Structure 1
């Protein structure tokens, strides 16, 4: 709850959150016990600023805020013009996404609350004009910073500019905001992937963020490439490294800004909201999951005994929304970090997740199924490369020959290489596991449970709260089928007929291949 004026902690809290304390004491937007016990009440009449709103997580965040915190005043989203399209037009295109269908049906006027601010986190002052900046400084109450590049193969310069320097630039504007109540930074559970046990604390990064930012600004690209090789060390990619440095910058500014850091693990399709299985991209594990369902992936570098840590996007969104409230309603002397992961409450191994994937790939095949689904985990990279050549590259090359001869554009070999690259990029995470501590996340779960409107926000992934992996993977498969492949359920009957043909084709191919191998072996021996 709030800190009483006569509390021995009042002085230190006032030093830590000087403008926020003054704001809460003197502004009707956040006052009274009712607001402290009510998440949506915290957002009543609030103006919110969001970066990264066009991303997978960002879209879901905007949708949930409009739907569950309907008393909010407005949402301002940072957007950059793209492909000749102004930000206002991009915003209209954004609202066409199926994630907003429930709002379109229930209250289409809610879209009027969302305004686009032209800008870019890669630019000084976020590329925001003077007038827009003055408005944000004078009016914004809550900030969610989720803009980032999530590419594992991003070069160091771009990753630092977008993930680390971009965070610094957002915080510089936040420090000027006169009515700021809460700042929530979206990080990643893997920003400390060099550690086996990850506590809910900000660790000292391997390199000073300010020094790295300065180096990126003055060094030639060739020198930066050399620097990247040295800096990565135990980090698997530039994404985890630059997010670790970004967290440190947030911590350094938390004495002036009421801040929280939310660390989701691998974000996947929705559990419940806005629709079970909703997903709108094929990056990372979702793309691999989709191709396993289509049968194009036959081998994966993975230790099946390790835990896979995936977290539904709606659970992450609800954690962000409630973390902003929790930061103020239950103040702490230290900045809170929330490890938003599944392993601490409902763990599952790669083996079990793979079995469920195979089960529902066969039960709900898409009309776009290419081969009969079936894949194998292996840790031997040489054997993986051999299997990938035999079952990914060679079939793709043969299909490209067929496409070329039939006057179509060859594409399968290029696609196969993309899959192989994605599998390689994710292999670090599929061959390691982490113990993510979650005492702060547990505190949030309990706080939300006791909030007056806590039932609106799903932050508890325990089986006792209704979450089961069997149902989730089923919805995930159906979600990919519906929202990504745009494959209506009406095609299921024909898809199963196609799947049956592929099964017998595979059996015949295996028999012919075995016969050919025996024939070659016999000729060789005799």
Structure 2
């Protein structure tokens, strides 16, 4: 294998010269040396972790340009400062704070022509950028089709149009989702044909009246559970189309959860999806979920996703392929866990490390009967939340529990498709990537292997997940643990008393009905 850093080869994609693959195979970090990187979606959960990892493990990079849009009256400079104040960057600030100066904010919006970037900055970027990571998207499952399409599909097209003009581009990575083809049970690492002409949809959807767009949405969805997975599938086709001219890769993570190891075990920054639901399970406010408990639950730590994204960009160049690679970044075929196993571990560690914000004694039941689930939601979620809101109102505090309870029930219903189905994700490309990373001299810094043989254990992971939610989401450090355990113990006995009272009331009612029936029978005789 070549060891000279001055070896180059001709890049057929854009007629530029890049490092010899035989050299960069040895060191993943060297692939990023002196590079200028462009990132979309940097303020999201995945985006923050991506920027942090780049700074920590690819310190030889030149600069990172983050596409950011002004939001809620805040300029991008203010949003960048807010981003860098996030705890994810705390280790960098302690070890090498000056490296944060390599982060540059670029004002723009993926929904606008030329990404809404000024002409001067646009020209600078197409002259300088070497690697592009596109993770910006609207992840709302209930998003109406037009908006989801504009952000997830057309936004991707606009990013790729910019990439086509980049003079020094080495690699482009699109962060999709493992569920982009959730209408299928067995999902290969390839871009599937769509049952409609997506280009015709692209040319017409923005001009359709709202009512027509809604009718079209129902027809296009087919077996897709929501507009998110559908528009991600469409975006993958756009990436595939451009891959003849741009060295591209698609990374498809399953349900992204807290970190395994980096920047520290259990780091999490978002309560969307499963994280928010299981946070409330730990607090005792969610008692019922629609789920088939013996099915595989496919979740993936955020740091594994980030390492896959970074090494996919490297893999695309170091191990050239005649076809664009797709990486199913999933756990089900590598280190499976069922919904039941995850629930038991969540309950175990929620009781061992309770938060001072625990509201009820943790305990949850999976159900497949929607009518029974609806009854339980009202009895155990909405009614207790309403009672707590009355208490808050009486103590001159703002009621919020019922609103929050309804919000989490919406999340449960939006996620029921994923908790009542399972998929078999092919991972041939992921295994190839894992092997290549392990062969690199610095591969241990970019670990993409979550197999048990590599030290990944679900028991430890869920424990750190619960502690991470406690620390980073609830802002509740371990100093309150004794107080929280005392509170949990009181809630346990209160629950026992309530169960006993309920049993007595139900028994008394049953006896009353029985006695009344016996009295009627006696009178009839």
State the TM-score, normalized to the length of structure 2: 0.95
1:194 equivalenced with 2:188 (yes/no): no
**1:102 paired residue number:** 91
The SS at the match of 2:165 is: coil
1:475 aligns with 2:464: yes
Instruction: After superposition, give the CA deviation of every residue in 1:74-126 in whole Å (9 maximum; x if it has no partner).
Output: 00010001122211221111000000011001100000111001000111111
Correspondence for 2:432:
443
How far apart, CA to CA, are the structure 1 residues paired with 2:108 and 2:196?
29
Q: Please say if residues 264 and 340 of structure 1, whose CA atoms lie closer than 8 Å, have aligned partners that are also in contact.
A: yes
Unaligned runs of 5+ in 1: 3-9, 25-29
CA distance in 1, matches of 2:52, 2:325: 25
Q: What does 1:99-248 align with in structure 2 at a 5 Å threshold?
A: 99-248=88-237
Question: Which one of the candidate residues 13, 19, 40 is aligned to 1:18?
Answer: 13
Determine the C-alpha separation between the residues in 1 that align with 2:492 and 2:369: 27
Deviation at 1:222, TM superposition (A): 1.9
Quote the residue 1:34 is aligned against: 23
- For 2:43, the equivalent position in structure 1 comes to 54
**Following TM superposition, by how much is the alpha carbon of 1:406 offset from its aligned partner in structure 2, in angstroms?**
2.7
Are the counterparts in 2 of residues 308 and 433 from structure 1 also a CA contact under 8 Å? yes
- 1:300-337 Cα offsets, whole Å, 9 max, x none, are 10000100000000000000000000000000000000
Distance in 1 separating the partners of 2:133 and 2:384: 45
Q: Number of residues paired by the alignment?
A: 509
1:85 aligns with 2:79: no
Distance in 1 of aligned mates of 2:14 and 2:494: 69
Correspondence 1:405-444 to 2 at 5 A: 405-444=394-433
Residue matched to 1:321: 310
More displaced 10-residue stretch of structure 1: 514-523 or 156-165: 514-523
SS at match of 1:19: coil
Q: Deviations over 1:39-63 (max 9, x none)?
A: 0000010000000001000000000
Name the counterpart of 2:297: 308
Q: Does 1:269 align with 2:258?
A: yes
Does the 8 A contact of 1:142 with 1:182 survive in 2? yes
**Within 5 A, what are the aligned runs for 1:456-475?**
456-475=445-464
3-state SS in 2 of match to 1:23: strand
Aligned partners of 1:412, 1:483: CA distance in 2, in Å? 21
Q: Secondary structure at the match of 2:337?
A: coil
Q: Deviations over 1:441-479 (max 9, x none)?
A: 000000000001101011000011110000000000000
| Residues 209 and 246 in structure 1, CA contact (< 8 A), matched pair in contact too | no
Q: Distance in 1 between matches of 2:467 and 2:375?
A: 32
Q: 1:371 pairs with 329, 349, 360, which one?
A: 360
Paired residues of 2:186 and 2:423 also in contact (CA < 8 A): yes
Q: TM-score, normalised by structure 1?
A: 0.95
User: RMSD of the TM alignment (CA)?
Assistant: 1.4
Contact 2:21 2:317 (C-alpha < 8 Å) held by counterparts: no
Shift of 1:400: 1.8
CA distance in 2, matches of 1:32, 1:347: 34
What is the CA-CA distance between 1:524 and the residue it aligns to?
2.1
Q: Deviations over 1:232-271 (max 9, x none)?
A: 1100000000000000000011000000000000000000
Partner of 1:5: none
- Once the two structures are overlaid, the 10-residue window that deviates more, 203-212 or 152-161, is 203-212
Rounded Cα–Cα distance in structure 1 between residues aligned with 2:403 and 2:471:
25
Give 3-state SS (helix, strand or coil) of 2:249's partner: strand
State the secondary structure of the residue aligned to 1:93. helix
CA distance in 2, matches of 1:147, 1:301: 30
Helix, strand or coil: the match of 2:14? helix
Question: For the residues of structure 2 that align with 1:115 and 1:444, how far apart are their CA atoms?
Answer: 30
The Cα shift of 1:153 comes to 0.8
**Cα offset, 1:32, TM superposition:** 6.7
Q: For the residues of structure 1 that align with 2:37 and 2:149, how far apart are their CA atoms?
A: 26
Find the residue that maps to 2:293 and give its secondary structure: coil
Check the 8 A contact 2:13/2:247 in 1, yes or no: no
